[in-house]
Amino acid sequence: MRFAWPRLRFRFIVAEEYQPLRVVPLWLWMLIAFSASFQASYKYRNPPEAATAGSLPEPPTAAVLDAAAFGDHPALAKGLTLWLQAFDNQQGISIPFRELDYTQVAAWLGAILDLDPRAEYPLFNASRIYTFVRNEPDRVRVMLDFIREKFREDPANRWEWMSHAVTMAKHDLKDEALAREFARELRVLSEGHPEVPGWATQMEIFLLEDSNEYDDAARLLLNLVESGEITDPREFLLLYERLEQLLTKMIEAGEVTSRQQFDRMEQALDKLRSSYLKSRAELEEQSR
């Protein structure tokens, strides 16, 4: 048998297989026109129900989502993310965030993240979209708690969102204690993960200094220097100078009330300086 490649022609409908249009009777044309217009008017007069904010359902269980993914978890995760994101902005109406059940929103974001743990979209939404709701601190706290919970599961890859949560707690919620709590957790859980940058782990020091908590800030900085986490001279100098400025500010504000307190604060600075110089010397010795 000799094989011959077919001539490929782009013809889906071959004209000569059909009779001309005039053979179609008038009643059939009328029937098609009537049916089509009836269908269009029926849909026009029966639009889909306007969704209300209260109708965000509970997310399905992990087992159900696992089955529904048919082995393609990232695709389902992305699809669900788009659906959830568009939930507050449906056809004809825009649901304010303050009317969304944030507990359900957090549950959905958690379910989506469980489907695709390496995705950043759910945490982005939690930190940059759903926290933009004015005068609703409780809703913002729900999102921040969600970010904290997810950060604990994977500190190496989700530190960025936790650092954003620290910023949100300090500047939007004006909750210094919560911001320090987040910053402390960020520092502690980032130990052993070199991919977390120094500025993120040092957020706690800055917060302590901003709160005039000199002793805690100095102690923390000393710990970081002694554990070898701060080795860059410029980085150390920045943090050291801030501590010196804090001391000066506290003196000027009259918060240093005794000679003993002043001596203790000066000793802390000296100890810090000498620890840093010692760790630098050890580092240079090792590199030789």
Using CB under 8 A as the criterion, which residues of the chain lie in contact with other proteins when the complex forms? 1, 3, 5-6, 8, 10, 12, 63, 66-67, 69-79, 81-82, 85-86, 118-121, 124-125, 128-129
Choose between 8 and 21: whose C-beta lies nearer to other proteins: 8
In the complex, what is the shortest distance from the CB of residue 128 to other proteins, in angstroms, rounded to a whole number? 8
Residue in 198, 210, 160 with CA at minimum distance from that of residue 182 = 160
In the complex, what is the shortest distance from the CB of residue 78 to other proteins, in angstroms, rounded to a whole number? 4
In the complex, what is the shortest distance from the CB of residue 114 to other proteins, in angstroms, rounded to a whole number? 14
Choose between 79 and 137: whose C-beta lies nearer to other proteins: 79
CA dist 272 and 225 (Å) reads: 8
Report in angstroms the alpha-carbon separations of 206 from 161, 189, 213: 18, 18, 10
Q: Residue 162 in contact with residue 147, Cβ under 8 Å? A: yes
Choose between 7 and 288: whose C-beta lies nearer to other proteins: 7
Choose between 164 and 187: whose C-beta lies nearer to other proteins: 164
In the complex, what is the shortest distance from the CB of residue 57 to other proteins, in angstroms, rounded to a whole number? 20
CA dist 183 and 194 (Å) reads: 17
In the complex, what is the shortest distance from the CB of residue 250 to other proteins, in angstroms, rounded to a whole number? 42
Choose between 71 and 194: whose C-beta lies nearer to other proteins: 71
- One-letter amino acid at 154 equals D
Q: What value, to the nearest 5°, has the Cα angle with vertex 111 and ends 108 and 115?
A: 140
Q: What value, to the nearest 5°, has the Cα angle with vertex 131 and ends 125 and 135?
A: 160
Helices (H), ranges, 168-258: 176-189, 198-201, 203-210, 214-226, 233-252
